[in-house]
Amino acid sequence: MRTQLQEDSGFTAEQFETPDVPIPWNAIGLATLLFSVGSLLIVLGVMIKLGYILSDVWLDRGTPFLIIGCIMFIPGAYHMYLAYYAYYKYPGYDFNMIPDWD
């Protein structure tokens, strides 16, 4: 009876392995969109503020473009950074760190 208890510890090797996490393509697509549009808005805002765009219609839109561009750029860049590091399997990074819509 004692040898049977020592052989069966109740644990399996599979329960200590982390399962592969599917790549959240929708979240990465949204991050790419936020990063791209945010970058574009920041560039437009800087060009307006520096005077490269001189149209009267655009002169009041420099600051809002900069603010909205930063609001979109920062989370997009952060999540693309996480996706890059998770894809190349850097230690401490995985796709669980990226919020998904499911």
3 state DSSP class of 92:
coil
Band (pLDDT 50/70/90 cuts) for residue 99 is confident
In this prediction, residue 43 carries a pLDDT of 95
Instruction: Give the tens place of pLDDT for each residue, 43-62.
Output: 999 999 998 988 888 788 88
Q: Evaluate whether 52 touches 8 at the Cβ level (below 8 Å).
A: no
More confident residue, 1 or 8: 8
CB contact set of 35 (below 8 Å; sequence gap of 6+): 72, 73, 76, 77, 80
